[in-house]
Structure 1
Amino acid sequence: MSKNRFLKILLPSIALTFGSQANAYTLQEAVANTLATSPDFLIGTNTRDMVDKELRQSYAGFLPTVDMAAGWGEQYTNNPTTRAANPLLGGDTRSATGTMTETRTEFSLIASQMLFDGFAVYHDVEGKKARVRAESWRVNGSAQDIALDAVQAYLDVLLRRELVHLNRDNLANHERIYGQIQKRSEGGIGRKADLDQAEGRVALARTNLMAEEANLRDAETEFLRKIGIPVPNHLVRPGFPRFFPQNEHNAVEWGLKRHPILRASVEDVNVVREERKVAKSPFVPRFDLQLGMTRNHNIDGTTGDSDDNSAMLRMRWNLFSGGKDLANLCRASYKMQTAQEVQNRAHRQVVESVRLAWSTYTTAKRQMKYFKEHVDASVRTTEAYQKQFNIGQRTLLDLLDSENELFGARVSLANGKHQELLGTYRVLNATGCLTEELNIALPKQAEPRPTAIMDGSSRFFDKTTTIFD
């Protein structure tokens, strides 16, 4: 699938992605643009298309084959027929040695239709269908993980911008209080030690701002790498998801029912189950209907035309293959057991990832109450210190301490909000519902439905294969 075609499917208004940089840019746009340009995601969609073509190849086993062959050339023949025509033996030939030289032409047309092959083609088709579904679920799972990367890059930029803003305010407050202490020191009221201490805190606030600005640049670089465009000026802060599990048990249920990687592992079991049925087919004979015609001239020393027409029912049955077929059947059985254990492992991994994501989210959510209380208490303390300073009960350094406490509380609150919101998207990712929540239109490769070709032909065998199940 071409990249341009994918862009048309995924982003009907992809041009707005770049035009919106001067306007509001949403999380949904960021995720959609990431999926439209992600090499990892496009590799997955191309793999799904490749497997779909393998399915089409398997369908060909239901159809007849037609082969035509033709030939022309010089022929030198010396066989009992030409030697019997030797004039020394009373025959009539152009060669006294019994060798005949003639121009030979050949033409043949053979049509073959498989009638019964132990249901090998049928089960091969069913196995390929299951593999197409498995690859579709993997494309869907890749979309969930890539979308989470985009969400994290988007939210990280929002967080770093907020922290830069807080650090700038903190530096401004430090410079304001430092200026007041400097005036008092110059007026002979303040102490030199207080001025030195305030100067050191201003320097620290400046270095903190510089470090946070560097963190913002790093986040913007990560945004560019993951989402594929420079960071727009205005990013819209996303709200809480519309659909979200009510509790951990509900979240685990969502994951077990909807996680694409778990559903892919189920289809992988179906693939090897069909492969095992294919491995049983060599133990029964194969029947083909073959229609043929030949139009030959001057064949093997016989001058003139040699024409044949035939309609044959042919049976082929390998009676001994050195144990290869039995070993292949045993191999398929072990492969199926392996696939079932992989499915069990995927089940455990989904449960684990959902519970870990839920634990992280709920921890961040519970902490928010105390982060807010810390900010509120720090605001009240700062206001009280200011009033006490106005009546001479507090020093400017006391004000500086209260500003530092308030700054730290606001930074903790910003980080807490970030972790809580990111935690919700991690839960949705762990349950396999992230792109659905963001209303992202995934391409057809992420839909677990193989191309419908000759479904009627395969359904013909549905009622006749039970003895091979």
Structure 2
Amino acid sequence: MRPACALAIAAALAGCKSTPQWKACAAADEATPRPACSSGLDASAGPPPAASPSAPAKSAKRDLTIPPSINEPVDTASLSPEAGTNGPELAQNFSMGEAVRRALARSPQIGLASALTSEAEAGVSVARAPFFPKVEVSGGSGEGVDGLYRASSRTVIGADKLTKTNVPIKYWDNRNATGAWRTDSNMAGTQLLYDFGATSADVERAVKTRDSQALKGMATVEDVALSAAQAYASLQQSRELLALAKDNLESLKGIASLINRNEQNGNGTQADLKRVQARVADAEAIVVDQDYETKLAIERFKRLVQAEPGALRKAPDLRAALPANSNAAFDEAIKRSPRILSAVTTVQSARAEADSLRLGDLPKISAEGQADSKNFRGQNTRTDVELRLMLTMTYKLADGGLSFAKREQAGARVTQAEMKLVSEKQDVEADIRQAYLQLAAARAKAAGLSEGVASSAKARSLYREQFQGGKRSLLELLEVQSSYYTARYNQVTNAYQEQKAQLTILKSVGRLATALENNDKAPLARAPASPRKRKA
């Protein structure tokens, strides 16, 4: 697929607005309107939610207003082990927006959604076809064959072409039928005049089905964008945690070296050395585990983006794009979330199908015309021509209960679509409220975690100096190092949890791809310096 495929499909899918003009497209035989739209995947102009008797009333909403964020994920670069060389492209320095665009342009899910939308679009033309005339032409030529008439003894009086006298002859033995050559041709046409709106209802069903499938395609765009953005953030987080684990290992190795020299100078014990070595072994295991997690994150990134990740740019700040609180986000999702709007149009499609089947049991009035030409060549060569034009009414008296069973099926599908709409609304609301709770918790912890990291870093430096002066024990030195690592680990994890919650909220309201496109101005992240070995 071309790099612009994602934006093109987004623009095409965003043209799925159900308007009154669309409802009249069948009768007027006009092309379906395709309003132009941007690549922002704005579904706000989609079909209005249909009133559903089973839709739940809005419950009392809790206002989960979020305090301002205090800390953000820090810049990271390529700190993972050397990536493989089997990827589709060489390492590149991506921003989050660039990674998402590449994922959208190369996602088979987007291609599948596009094909399904094209199929639904063709279904509109199929449903509209009964409005137009139908003309059929047939023809054939050949010899007559033997039949039951051959045993007939009937004779007729024929003209002798030589003597000009009338003599009795056998009709069937003179190639008047058996073995005679004949050519037939036929042209028939039918035009539907009135069917009590059955075809119009079927066209509306097809239009709503197309709208629903197009909105599902837009939801797929948001899903792929979220997957790519989360893979990007997870890779940044894994790289930063790997750098932190390596720094912790180097610090513990420095303490072990210090203890080893003290033990050689008679100022330490083997027990102290063994204790530090155990901590070093634990730190090495953490590095191995984090290295494994980083490799997994790289593989997920490569699968979605189809390129090796180089130095990743800092993720954009999306706080300004978030709704004020969970209530505002859910209200916005009701109006523009492609996931919800798709379920709404599915309900409308099911209801239109039920109407079409009900109206299809009523009479149909049509105009029919037919022209037949039959040419016989034999003793009596002749041509028979027949023309007729009729106004017909067709009404089905009995069909073994088939129509009733189809109406029952359509009614069940309406109920299924309504229940699916209720479920989608509840799921989207749950996702939004959970994400806002996660966002609130992450922002509430941010200040305390930052203070904890600063305090632990200062204490670690002081304890090291005091340990060398004999004022601190080895246990205290190891504990302060562990406290610093834990505080820093929690700070990094919390910052990325806040970022992922923002991505989830924007995806739930249908604005993630737009927000990333509008904020794709991130500079290249500075590569952190590799951990230095501390001097004893």
CA distance in 2, matches of 1:8, 1:433: 14
The structure 2 residue matched to 1:240, chosen from 308, 314, 317, is: 317
Contact 1:65 1:112 in 2 (8 A): yes
Who is 2:5 aligned against?
6
Q: How far 1:436 moved relative to its partner?
A: 2.1
Distance 1:188 1:310, change over 3 A: same
Does 2:472 align with 1:394? yes
Distance 1:269 1:84, change over 3 A: farther
Q: How far 1:402 moved relative to its partner?
A: 1.5
Aligned to 2:382, the other structure's residue is in SS state strand
Q: Which residue identity lines up with residue 426 of structure 1 in the other structure?
A: T
Q: How far 1:131 moved relative to its partner?
A: 0.3
The structure 2 residue matched to 1:406, chosen from 456, 479, 484, is: 484
The structure 1 residue matched to 2:390, chosen from 309, 312, 326, is: 312
**Cα-to-partner distance string for 1:228-280 (whole Å, 9 max, x where unaligned):** 222x2211121321410111111221222222121111111111111111112
Who is 1:21 aligned against?
91
User: Could you state the TM-score of these two structures normalised by the residue count of structure 1?
Assistant: 0.84
CA distance in 1, matches of 2:467, 2:145: 122
Contact 2:153 2:170 in 1 (8 A): no
**Cα-to-partner distance string for 1:93-146 (whole Å, 9 max, x where unaligned):** 543699732211111112221111232221111110000000011111122222
User: Could you state the TM-score of these two structures normalised by the residue count of structure 2?
Assistant: 0.74
Who is 2:50 aligned against?
none
Who is 1:450 aligned against?
none
The structure 1 residue matched to 2:448, chosen from 348, 367, 370, is: 370
CA distance in 1, matches of 2:379, 2:360: 41
CA distance in 2, matches of 1:301, 1:55: 55
Distance 1:4 1:34, change over 3 A: closer
The structure 2 residue matched to 1:284, chosen from 332, 356, 362, is: 362
Distance 1:7 1:141, change over 3 A: closer
Aligned to 1:284, the other structure's residue is in SS state coil
Contact 1:83 1:97 in 2 (8 A): no
Who is 1:329 aligned against?
407
- Aligned-residue Cα RMSD (Å) equals 3.1
Query: How many pairs does the alignment contain?
Result: 432
Contact 1:45 1:139 in 2 (8 A): yes
Structure with the higher helix share, 1 or 2: 1
CA distance in 2, matches of 1:298, 1:93: 18
CA distance in 1, matches of 2:416, 2:380: 62
Task: Give unpaired runs (5+ residues) of structure 1.
Answer: 12-16, 441-469
Contact 1:78 1:301 in 2 (8 A): no
CA distance in 1, matches of 2:378, 2:4: 59
**Cα-to-partner distance string for 1:16-49 (whole Å, 9 max, x where unaligned):** x988834x31111211222222222322221111
Q: How far 1:53 moved relative to its partner?
A: 1.1
Q: Which residue identity lines up with residue 40 of structure 1 in the other structure?
A: Q
Does 2:172 align with 1:95? yes
Contact 1:166 1:411 in 2 (8 A): yes
CA distance in 2, matches of 1:34, 1:84: 85
Q: Which residue identity lines up with residue 199 of structure 1 in the other structure?
A: Q
Distance 1:224 1:267, change over 3 A: same
Distance 1:170 1:327, change over 3 A: closer
Identical pairs, percent: 23
Alignment of 1:70-219 (within 5 A): 70-76=139-145, 86-87=155-156, 93-95=170-172, 100-101=177-178, 102-219=180-297
Distance 1:319 1:10, change over 3 A: closer
CA distance in 2, matches of 1:331, 1:99: 57
CA distance in 1, matches of 2:352, 2:297: 48
CA distance in 2, matches of 1:4, 1:205: 43
Does 2:136 align with 1:67? yes
Q: How far 1:331 moved relative to its partner?
A: 3.4
CA distance in 2, matches of 1:157, 1:391: 42
Task: Out of 115-124 and 69-78, give the one that drifted further.
Answer: 69-78
Q: How far 1:77 moved relative to its partner?
A: 7.3
Aligned to 1:295, the other structure's residue is in SS state strand
Q: How far 1:302 moved relative to its partner?
A: 7.2
Does 2:454 align with 1:382? no
